[in-house]
Amino acid sequence: MMPTETIRPSDLTPDLIKAWRGLCASRPEFSNPLLGPDFTVAVGAVREDARVTVGWSACRPVLFFPHHARPGGLARPIGAPFSDYQAVVTASGVPFSPAELMAAAGANRFLFDGLVDPDRRFAGFIAAERPMFGVHLDRSADRYFEGLRADSPKRFKNMRRLEHKLEREAGRLDLTAPDHDARAFETLMAWKSEQFRRTGLHDVLAPDWVRTLMRSLFETREGPLTGLMLTLRVGGKPVAGHFGVRAGAVFHPWVAAFDPDFAAYGPGVTLVSRAVRDMNRLGLTRYHLSGGHDHYKHPFVIGAETVFQGAVSRAARPPSARRFAERPSPLVRLGRRLDHIAAVETTLPGRVRGVLTALRGASLRLAAGAAE
């Protein structure tokens, strides 16, 4: 293993940050805002367990592995569960062993579920893969839409029908992009938290570190990493929004939600439609929509990226695909939820509340299944 050191994000020197940014800029696979040093520094400002393992070759930094050092020697991707994309950022062709890297970082195990691995260094530790959707705009937005409409004319006709219906029945439609309205930001967060409660999922926006991180990024207007919020308004009233991080020409939303009172109009689809049309004006070439099977994403996507799921263990146990199965058992689904809670909740009271919510949600879903 190459010489390494593990430091806190606050100890990254300007030279290390410059080198890390340079590696991301040199490889398109690492262009996502979540993979650069600025996101790690932002997370490190709100999480005491944030670490970066730096690898050196010929006195130059050539590897950066940001992670959370959790109890029991467990390493998690930096910013989890908001780290939809994860990576060991390296120069092309830099050799390293994932197991040896974990040992150098002081970790016994590293769990990943959105790994970007262009050099396939983690090939022996991958249990499953999944698509990540997004709009990659390599032409004008108008030409991009022409291609989409040609592929799905009926779908786009229905989208336009709902958009006209919303405007006719509720008021003029406008997209505010970027939106710096603090009240609209709080409204969007409240919609998302209510959605989590309504669907029996853990509210990952509730922990203090998450709220502080989101608010800090929302208030950051300039620099290599900023928050970006897009809001769809009807008659001046917010009805849907996206919030996330932007680095250069790449936007990665985390929070997508809408006013439940307008659900019948499909405001999420209208928001994305108008946002994609505005990408040229906003200076964006990539608009990430992450994974999942949300129907509103599909009309706007041409192709998808692949990320990997699995685990690196110093005990050399092969990864199990069971926890990443497309149709997992109820027990595996519950295990996923508990793992999700453990990633975001850093306090014992938060973990206890999360576990109780997960168990209550599981029992409700089992009862509903039995009733059917």
The residues spanned by each domain of the chain are 4-131+306-326, 139-284, 328-372
Compute CA distances 356 → 36, 71, 164, 201, 342, whole Å.
35, 21, 43, 11, 13
Question: In 45-140, where does DSSP find H-type helix?
Answer: 98-105
Could you give the CA distance from residue 328 to residue 343 in angstroms, rounded to a whole number? Answer: 20
**Contact between 246 and 225 (Cβ < 8 Å):** yes
Return the number of other C-beta atoms located less than 10 Å from residue 356's C-beta. 10
d(CA 137, CA 279): 8
**Distance of alpha carbon 93 from alpha carbon 5, whole angstroms:** 20
The tokens for 77 are 């991707």
Under 8 Å between Cβ of 55 and 4: yes
**Taking Cα atoms as reference points, which of 12, 97, 112, 111 lies closest to residue 53?**
12
Fold exhibited by the domain 4-131+306-326: Aminopeptidase (3.40.630)
Token pair 């990430």 in the structure block, residue: 288
Domain 4-131+306-326 shares a fold with domain 139-284: yes
What is the CATH T-level fold of the domain 139-284, as seen in this structure?
Aminopeptidase (3.40.630)
Helix (H), strand (E) at residue 192: helix 182-199
Give the pLDDT of the chain (372 residues) as one tens digit per residue: 799 999 999 999 999 999 999 999 999 999 999 999 999 999 999 999 999 999 999 989 999 999 999 988 999 999 999 999 999 999 988 999 999 999 999 999 999 999 999 999 999 999 999 888 888 888 888 888 888 777 778 888 888 898 899 999 999 999 999 999 999 999 999 999 999 888 888 899 999 999 999 999 999 999 999 999 999 999 999 999 999 999 999 999 999 999 999 999 989 989 998 999 999 999 999 999 876 655 666 677 777 889 999 999 876 555 555 555 555 556 555 566 666 677 777 776 766 776 766 666 656 555 545 444
- β-strand partners of 175: 232
CA of residue 105 relative to chain centroid, distance: 24
Q: How far apart are CA 325 and CA 84, in angstroms?
A: 18
Pairing of strands 109-115, 89-90: unpaired
